[in-house]
Amino acid sequence: MSSLISEAPETRMVLRNVSWQTFVALADEREGSVPRMTYDEGVLEMMSPKRKHENLGRLIGRMIEAYSEIRGIEILSVASVTVKRSDLQKAYEADESYYVTNIDRVLAKEELDFEVDPAPDLVVEIALTSSAIDKLELFAAMQVREVWQHDGDTLQFYRWTNGQYEPIPSSVELPGLEASLIDRFLGQRLQSGETTLIRAFRNAIQ
């Protein structure tokens, strides 16, 4: 009799007492953007996503892009760019990230310096397994205006207010877009291809 072995949807490695210079060197010397790195005052977490993680993140990103196009909201995608602040000794790489409110401050820049430039306004974080770093605390320190977190079952929106995050049912950066609507379409991702799913999403918001 054979048994099914369930693999973790993400692989995480945590290193402690890592200097800022070592983190920057490791991030710069990678080939591509995997593993994704998060750094918080000496703690370095490296996460390698698998299919479910990547699929959820990309579908949410596609829905953000479809919604902004249909509603005429200008956005700038910076995907998994490394947002790092040496003054805070913190850095992260989101699954998807966008400028909305602050787009005019960064639109003309090919490269960003987060010591000067604002962090992306909207960050999508897929968290299917527990992280060694409190991501919301880290995002708050970086003053990310809005965070969307998906735990593999449910999408939750958070808005940064007075230095902390409060749960919200609908987006402020993308007015009128509710987490429950995105969840409804994510629930169909194993039954239909992306073209069909995104087309149905676009029809629902038009």
The pTM (predicted TM-score) of the whole model is 0.93
User: Does residue 205 contact residue 65 with C-beta atoms inside 8 Å?
Assistant: no
Which pLDDT score, from 0 to 100, does residue 18 have?
98
User: How confident is the model at residue 183, as a pLDDT?
Assistant: 97
What is the per-residue pLDDT for 7? 63
Annotated domain spans of the chain: 50-205
pLDDT value of residue 39: 98
**Backbone φ, ψ for residue 43 (5° rounding):** -100, 125
CATH number of 50-205: 3.90.1570.10
Model pLDDT, residue 3: 38
How many CA atoms within 13 Å lie on the side-chain side of 93?
Answer: 21
Three-state secondary structure call for residue 42: coil
How many CB atoms are located within 10 Å of the residue 56 CB? 22
Closest by alpha carbon to 177, among 57, 66, 75?
Answer: 66
User: How confident is the prediction along the chain (206 residues), in pLDDT tens digits per residue?
Assistant: 333 444 677 889 999 999 999 999 999 998 777 799 999 999 999 999 999 999 999 999 999 999 999 999 999 999 999 999 999 999 999 999 999 999 999 999 999 999 999 999 999 999 999 999 999 999 999 999 999 999 999 999 999 988 789 999 999 999 999 999 999 999 999 999 999 999 999 999 99
Please measure the distance between the N-terminal and C-terminal CA atoms of the chain and give it in whole angstroms: 51
Closest Cα to residue 39, out of 88, 98, 111? 88
pLDDT of 200: 98
Predicted pLDDT of residue 58:
97
CA distances 170 to 82, 166, 191, 198, Å, are 27, 12, 26, 19
